[in-house]
């Protein structure tokens, strides 16, 4: 009788998840097999850079029962976040002369942690209510969304939500990769879903070929220390000189390996209001953002994932993008003024950017003038 209740609950969880706005829900167990050795190898190669938290929890990340003792099942959810298909048009190119900034699409709206956690808690409340009506009251759960040492993509793959692609992101044949993940760890013996057992990337290497900094050392293997998302968000120090030009106008994160992935032709446009762009961050100019004071930065990034990089990191990133922009005397003026109110580390990036602007000015002069 109890088994029938758990089986029915497993089906209802999928329905409730859809009602709460999740596009997909799957259930898996706690065994992650070879993913543990993959993580260990990645850490041993120091591909995690300054992200020391990736190695700080022993085997808890790959063994869910060590993180939450008693866990038998993990409910995995997917929430789409893409608001339009215009991202490719905003990446800097030779024809981009309007000095626009590029912010990773996931960070344009409200912090996804808050959005997903709230809904996961509502989903658990429905589960608890169902169990209470069945006079089953001894089960427990914890909810997560990119907020604990968890191999989210591996769990979602095993729950049938997709496969891990060559760009190391979870891919779905129905939705590409423009989505967030969340989990409920529970001791309820729910019915398992069939895992995604094979990759559907085939011979395609579009994500690897387009990466501006050549961060993919092999299919399914990312050197985060070369990844623009890592450099502009997680990395707190100076960005290596050899990578600065490659960053282009990307000031917070990078989506190139998603933008050019053929599977993202099937990406769904999210109707979630919380993910709508704030402060016109979907197509801002670099100078407008560079003019933000620290107070303005904190105000405009309240409840946003962008705050993670901090004001100095934000200013450093925009300085690099301004250095990569077409020559404009206003850029040099803005850079020179900002140099008076930032840290020594950011000042060095500003000096580099000013030098790049002067070089762009020289390169843009007619030949006879450039020889004067």
What would the pLDDT profile of 181-234 be if each residue is shown by its tens digit? 999 999 999 999 999 888 999 999 999 999 999 999 999 999 999 999 999 999
What's the pLDDT score for residue 282? 87
* DSSP code of residue 180: E
The pLDDT tens digits for 338-349 are: 999 999 999 999
Give the CA distances from residue 368 to residues 327, 355, 364, 371, in Å, rounded to whole numbers and listed in that order. 19, 21, 11, 6
Which segments of 101-212 does DSSP mark as H helices, in order? 112-133, 152-158, 206-210
What's the pLDDT score for residue 103? 96
Residue 237 has pLDDT above 60, yes or no: yes
What's the pLDDT score for residue 365? 64
Cβ atoms 307, 298 nearer than 8 A: yes
Residue 93 has pLDDT above 90, yes or no: no
The pLDDT tens digits for 6-30 are: 999 999 999 999 999 999 999 999 9
The pLDDT tens digits for 176-196 are: 999 999 999 999 999 999 998
Q: What is the mean pLDDT of residues 114-124?
A: 96
Cβ atoms 239, 319 nearer than 8 A: no
Q: What is the mean pLDDT of residues 100-126?
A: 95
Query: Coil, helix or strand for 98?
Result: coil
pLDDT tier at 98, thresholds 50, 70, 90: low
Look-up of token digits 């290497």: 205
Between 86 and 361, the higher pLDDT residue: 361
The pLDDT tens digits for 285-307 are: 999 999 999 999 999 999 999 99
What's the pLDDT score for residue 137? 85
85-99, 121-135, 232-246, 345-359: segment of lowest average pLDDT:
85-99
pLDDT tier at 372, thresholds 50, 70, 90: very low
What is the spatial distance between Cα 12 and Cα 345, in angstroms, rounded to a whole number? 53
Q: Report, as residue numbers or ranges, the catalytic residues.
A: 146
Query: Coil, helix or strand for 156?
Result: helix
pLDDT tier at 280, thresholds 50, 70, 90: confident
Task: Please report, rounded to a whole number, the percentage of residues in the chain having pLDDT higher than 70.
Answer: 96
What is the spatial distance between Cα 278 and Cα 154, in angstroms, rounded to a whole number? 31
Strand 221-222 and strand 216-218: pairing? Answer: antiparallel
Q: What is the mean pLDDT of the chain?
A: 93
Query: Coil, helix or strand for 297?
Result: helix
Q: Under 8 Å CB-to-CB from 26, ≥6 apart: which residues?
A: 75, 76, 156, 159, 160, 161, 193
At residue 137's C-alpha, the angle toward residues 136 and 140, to 5°, is 120
Residue 364 has pLDDT above 60, yes or no: yes
Residue 161 has pLDDT above 80, yes or no: yes
Residue 95 has pLDDT above 60, yes or no: no
What's the pLDDT score for residue 162? 97
pLDDT tier at 66, thresholds 50, 70, 90: very high
At residue 319's C-alpha, the angle toward residues 313 and 320, to 5°, is 95
pLDDT tier at 94, thresholds 50, 70, 90: very low
Residue 92 has pLDDT above 90, yes or no: no
């Amino acid at each position: 009788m109890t088994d029938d209740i758990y089986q029915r609950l497993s089906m209802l969880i999928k329905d409730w998840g859809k009602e709460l706005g999740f596009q997909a829900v799957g259930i898996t167990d706690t065994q992650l097999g070879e993913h543990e050795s993959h993580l260990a190898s990645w850490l041993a190669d120091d591909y995690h850079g300054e992200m020391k938290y990736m190695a700080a929890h022993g085997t808890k990340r790959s063994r869910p029962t060590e993180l939450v003792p008693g866990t038998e099942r993990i409910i995995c959810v997917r929430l789409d976040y893409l608001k339009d298909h215009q991202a490719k048009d905003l990446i800097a190119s030779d024809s981009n002369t309007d000095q626009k900034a590029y912010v990773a699409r996931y960070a344009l709206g409200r912090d996804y942690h808050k959005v997903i956690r709230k809904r996961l808690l509502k989903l658990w409340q429905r589960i608890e209510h169902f169990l209470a009506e069945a006079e089953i009251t001894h089960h427990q759960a914890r909810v997560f969304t990119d907020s604990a040492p968890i191999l989210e993509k591996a769990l979602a793959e095993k729950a049938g939500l997709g496969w891990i692609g060559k760009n190391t992101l979870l891919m779905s044949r129905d939705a590409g990769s423009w989505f967030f993940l969340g989990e409920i760890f529970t001791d309820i013996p729910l019915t398992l879903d069939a895992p995604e057992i094979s990759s559907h990337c085939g011979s395609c290497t579009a994500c690897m070929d387009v990466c501006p900094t050549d961060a993919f050392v092999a299919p399914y293997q990312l050197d985060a220390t070369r990844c623009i998302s890592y450099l502009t968000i997680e990395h707190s120090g100076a960005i290596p000189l050899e990578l600065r030009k490659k960053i282009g106008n990307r000031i917070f994160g990078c989506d190139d390996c998603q933008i050019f992935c053929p599977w993202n032709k099937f990406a769904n446009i999210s109707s979630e209001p919380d993910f709508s762009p704030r402060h016109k961050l979907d197509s801002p100019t670099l100078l407008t953002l560079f003019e933000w004071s620290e107070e303005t930065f904190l105000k405009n990034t309240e409840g946003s994932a962008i705050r993670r990089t901090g004001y100095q990191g934000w200013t450093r990133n925009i300085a690099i993008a301004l250095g990569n922009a077409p020559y404009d005397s206003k850029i040099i003026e803005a850079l020179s003024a900002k140099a008076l109110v930032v840290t020594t580390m950011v000042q060095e990036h500003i000096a580099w950017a000013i030098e790049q602007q002067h070089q762009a000015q020289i390169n843009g002069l007619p030949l006879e003038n450039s020889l004067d």
